[in-house]
A and B are shown apart, each in its own frame.
Chain A
């Protein structure tokens, strides 16, 4: 007999206890946009579903002097409607906006996207370039990992049994810093990324790039930080040749596969184009902010 058990604990501790003691396959639910499809495809599998949305703070985001504290289950539609978040991390908000339709954004969350750990997740490269940190709570207490260490493989992450993602924190960006995220899809909406690129840049008063982070998605088993691409940008005025070099570095760093969404050659090429364009947009945002 197949059985599905649903629990919506109201404290983190209760959630952890449920997960630790589960004798069924335990799955954590945020927006459910990936999980419910998996449940439909595996009707013969019994499972415990632990819904985290009733836990205080999971659905909230606050901005302080230090930066953003993002409840991992807050839906993307809520994030994209928050001008204060957008002002600081436009690339992250872009990535949240790109996830599925309006309806999907009404459920899907950044934390869910991260924990589902798909290679093509849009928010993951965007989080990478912001230097986000993940607060994890489990039976052995709390720990914090950098977002680039969170995802470990296709559909895999560093969460152990009983652990859950409690909070995503992102430091306030340095002055004259902005970011951008672009992805490529065949249509204008709805599709899963064929390739994605997030770029964050800091410019000095002369317009010279003093710091940069570049991350790419859907072109390797996990999203990747590409330091070579960042280096190609740092010290330049982000002219065409610097952008081109960053793009080439992203293409070189990628190790994509061929599937129904794209070929190796195509993905490798396009991730370079996206890197170049995202860097230009991020730079324009800094310049625009100054103007």
Chain B
């Protein structure tokens, strides 16, 4: 099968890759670009482990074709921290023990960042609904939501 050449930007850096037209962005990230921080839990948009942003919008990368990345800005978990400093959200997930096995964590961190960019002051209920597409089987979400609310407070400059 002929592969398609795609020019895109991932986490602010220019990236080129070849992919089959039917490949998902998730497979391209993981298998072509070795960016395995984005996880696959279901391949059908039901778990959110593969959450990334495309042109600033939160999506499941398993439901985006790699070829659609042409000319787009992709954001993945690998681009959340700046230099060697954790993002506030990452720091708060650690402090609140908001991860157990950690497989859902990259997706949740990408989603939380998207949430707080859209809504810097969410209620607990708003946070829970926004993140409803990010399944976590270990934590019961309690500590995740606490980490999200604490992140929001710090990012608003209130803590």
Contact = CB atoms under 8 A, between A and B. Distances in A.
**Whether chain A touches chain B in the assembled complex (some CB pair under 8 Å):** yes
Interface of A: 1-6, 8, 31-33, 36-37, 39-40, 49, 51, 75, 77, 100-104, 106-107, 188-190
B60 interface: yes
Interface in B108-139: 111, 114-115, 129-134
B22 A103 contact: no
B45 A37 contact: yes
A107 B59 contact: yes
Contact of A32 (B1, B51, B63, B134): B63
Given A36-B24, A103-B133, A189-B132, A1 B64 contact: no
A104 B65 contact: no
B16 interface: no
A32 B65 contact: yes
Given A32-B64, A49-B21, A189-B129, A103 B44 contact: no
B29 to A, nearest CB: 15
A102 B114 contact: yes
B106 interface: no
A104 B1 contact: no
B62 interface: yes
Of A3, A39, A102, A189, the most chain B CB neighbours within 10 A belong to A102
Nearest to B125: A188
Contacts of B11: none
A103 B21 contact: no
A2 B133 CA distance: 32
Of A1, A3, A104, the most chain B CB neighbours within 10 A belong to A104
Of B4, B24, B46, the most chain A CB neighbours within 10 A belong to B46
A103 B24 contact: no
A101 B24 contact: no
Nearest to B55: A106
